Chains A and B, each alone.
Chain A
């Protein structure tokens, strides 16, 4: 079925059918609003207006030290007591705030109204608000909505909701459009540029979602094949499927192997011949392999424990286990989408302990019992675990750092090696 030799084992191997420990209880994770922290930098003419509480605003400024940006392209419309008195008032208030905002920032071409826990609970209908506001502000500013609420989304699912809201905005492609590739999921600009060059060299016409400007939204239709660059995009996939686009199944582009298989899925779908694929990817593969050898000694045989965070955990575990010979103590993920993760699960070593969801105190007990060499966790847990003598890696850094593709494979390994190197270096 595949014209190109693939490193991936056949279905049914690895962890494809593995049991998963499902837990619910206290979850030490961010809500979907947090995705705004990178999305507002990625889409440069977009603004994100959270309709929520003071807690939402406080989260946004605390979560990632984002105050480095003098005036960010996000804000919160804080719901106050009087807004709770009646729906009509809340809608009028929202219109007033949006007007005030767009007067202040006339450069904004795309405004997202972002739902939060309180706006969902009081059933403030942001899709109707967006419709209403579009009548006043279109065409200068397009207004869309999605929910980043914690009662519905975990951390990176906020990006999924945002991109899914963008899909209906994509123009239909021409009837006779030639097949083209759409890469979905926000990537660092440098990574996006590298992938664009690789696809150009493979002769595959490519576009990215989200684009850097809302004026550059790609077209979509039956000739579109899409490839997930990020693992957390279930709803975006469904929305694209509805538009007739075809999903390409692949591991995620983390590490040399992941990147190669990810590119190969596209090459296969676009009929790129084996020689050309080899010629285009050989240099990158070789560089990634060389970069990784620096960290092999440091990481091989070391055990790692993932607390759930971004849904990147399974692809990262696959990379660390297969390319750096790390031992997987537990791989926790906030949400396991078996279909989107199928290619990854097949590559995980059989018997890997997988967990979905969280009951944080119980998971901490498991981590303490396992005494892993490295624990990947959120910022609320890292220092307390360090104080208990466990070395940790902040999960959020894996979302905010360019880690995908051949040229970043070494950087990705270094992120895991650094806490171990540091621990060894310190004599205090």
Chain B
């Protein structure tokens, strides 16, 4: 058993729902008890979908368990077919139904419904949402496309002359982080390159589109978590090559353009010459100097975490101090990247572990999921959201892709705006005692939460320096998780001086000073010790 407060991913059948809901005429019959219908609201509320997900829940009860739950499944499947007349049907079990082993696949087959029925085996007690989505997409593609597969060993026919190359765009789902806009952006980018999109799937696809996936010249894998397994099967079966680069960030988009051009046999230069992202100039403009070396902690699904790390490091000049993912399936990629950035990889789906890591590392910016947004809020660190799990705010009304050159513009704003502006930061450093303009105030250009601390408290704090006890206990709130040397005490004036250091590096300064004192066998930390340590650790 795993003690869980919050979870990064839902169960695998929610992944299957993301595939079914993304598509136009596929229905999912899910053997599940009452209550599992909560998953509908993810789509209708978070994503504001105007249709119910195409899912029928069998809704068995305790009293049915001794009787015939299989019959309940068969009735539900038959009625779902009659009512919704889908072009293909997915059948499977949620976590509880998995335990009663009714075999939805076998039952559905026995019904002999006049449509393709794809059974899903998604082990709920081992796997999670993204895996479930990937597996569902793979089985659906296999079931619908394989009747059109060429004979094994046959050569892929050459593209007829005069026709523009075409690709499929794979991986966008319902409830995906900015999938809607990424599909638009990449479709336009491919069009500028001279490449047509044959099928976008699963988002917006019909079952018939899945059947003709093999007609395209190659596959663009937008989200490997969802589409890599299906694309690999298409590669084996239809000899369709697939892209490996995820076009998030300027550098990755340029790499992607080159990769696509190579697969399509066309010249990337016209598009690259006209590359229109503002990120490079914005990043080089002197106003951005203050971004240099900003310490950033990154956590999300593997695709977005890797992309964010590359952008942070190479395109914004931040320093990556932490990199992690909850996507265990892609742990190897994250480990390799973490090594390149010289940080410890964090592979976990335990929210509390991520929180402890953020507290320990004292980053100046967190790039994470909605969960890290909560962590950052509590630790008073600025944050931008880069990945699912999603929140209603991750479906903005405006166009805001992550991918392509426009995506890079969106990301520049998202990764930079939460930070304190350059001169504002300097002024804060200079006049730390100002009761309205103190170092725990939020950046003034972010209205939300920017209210000043109550003036009296702050004045009292400034005026009671002499009244404080000679030795104070270390603050615990902002430096939660920081190791504090037990035998060393801080003189009151050194503690006061420490408070003049910006809060986001204060914990680190505290630890460094204590380590410095410990190594030298000092029992008390004075102002002198503090500045000695500062000089010692100067970077």
Contact = CB atoms under 8 A, between A and B. Distances in A.
Partners in one complex: yes
Nearest to A98: B3
A332 B421 CA distance: 56
Interface string B1-36: 111111101110110000000000000000001111
B35 A30 contact: yes
B1 A79 contact: yes
Residue among B37, B39, B58, B61 having the largest count of chain A Cβ atoms under 10 Å: B37
Contacts of A28: 37, 40
A145 to B, nearest CB: 15
Interface in A43-92: 51, 53-55, 57-59, 61-63, 67, 70-72, 75-81, 83-84, 90
A96 B94 CA distance: 27
B44 A361 contact: no
B261 interface: no
B68 to A, nearest CB: 14
Contacts of A83: 1, 125
A384 B57 contact: no
Contacts of A387: 50-51
Interface in A1-41: 24-34
Residue among B38, B61, B83 having the largest count of chain A Cβ atoms under 10 Å: B38
A405 interface: no
Interface in B179-199: none
Contact of A78 (B4, B59, B123): B4
B335 interface: no
B42 A55 contact: no
B4 A384 contact: no
Contact of A120 (B52, B62, B95, B125): B62
Contacts of B46: 62
A77 B99 CA distance: 17
A241 interface: no
Nearest to A122: B99
A72 B14 CA distance: 24
A97 interface: yes
B244 interface: no
B8 to A, nearest CB: 10
A254 to B, nearest CB: 25
A160 to B, nearest CB: 15
A125 to B, nearest CB: 15
A97 B65 contact: no
Interface string B41-82: 110111011111000111111100100000000001001000
Contacts of A57: 4, 6-7
A151 interface: yes
Nearest to A28: B37
A51 B18 CA distance: 26
Given A26-B59, A53-B125, A55-B14, 11 more contacts: A33-B35, A51-B1, A54-B11, A55-B96, A67-B6, A71-B5, A78-B2, A80-B2, A150-B33, A151-B60, A380-B44
Given A55-B94, A62-B38, A75-B3, A84 B125 contact: yes
Nearest to A380: B40
Q: Is the interface of A mostly helix, strand, loop or mixed?
A: helix
Contact of B96 (A71, A151, A154, A386): A151
Interface of B: 1-7, 9-11, 13-14, 33-42, 44-46, 48-52, 56-62, 65, 76, 79, 83, 94-96, 99-100, 123-126, 128, 370-371, 374, 378
A389 B480 CA distance: 51
B126 A31 contact: no
A93 B6 contact: no
Given A72-B5, A117-B35, A152-B62, A58 B11 contact: yes
B33 A151 contact: yes
The 3 A-B pairs of least Cβ separation, nearest first, read A31-B35, A150-B35, A380-B40
A353 interface: no
A117 B95 contact: yes
Contact of A27 (B45, B49, B59, B99): B59
A93 B125 CA distance: 15
Contacts of B9: 54, 58
16 contacts: A28-B40, A54-B95, A58-B7, A58-B39, A62-B46, A63-B38, A77-B1, A78-B7, A90-B1, A120-B62, A151-B60, A151-B96, A152-B61, A154-B34, A380-B44, A382-B44
Contacts of B35: 29-34, 59, 117, 149-150
Contact of A381 (B34, B52, B94, B126): B52
Contacts of A378: 37, 41
A381 B38 contact: no
A415 interface: no
B11 A379 contact: no
A75 B42 CA distance: 20
B51 A55 contact: no
A381 B37 CA distance: 10
A234 interface: no
Contact of A383 (B14, B48, B61, B62): B48
Contacts of B14: 55, 58
A65 to B, nearest CB: 8
B1 A151 contact: no
Nearest to B38: A59
Contact of A30 (B38, B79, B126, B128): B38
Contact of A75 (B5, B65, B99): B5
A388 B374 CA distance: 36
Residue among A70, A75, A150 having the largest count of chain B Cβ atoms under 10 Å: A150
Nearest to B377: A70
Nearest to B392: A65
Contact of A118 (B40, B52, B95): B95
Nearest to B55: A26
A426 interface: no
A75 B4 contact: yes
Given A53-B11, A55-B11, A118-B96, A70 B34 contact: no
A161 interface: no
A25 B44 contact: no
A187 interface: no
A428 interface: no
B498 to A, nearest CB: 26
B37 A121 contact: no
A94 interface: yes
Given A80-B1, A151-B60, A380-B41, A26 B10 contact: no
A202 B256 CA distance: 77
Residue among B10, B49, B83 having the largest count of chain A Cβ atoms under 10 Å: B10
B44 A26 contact: no
A397 B287 CA distance: 47
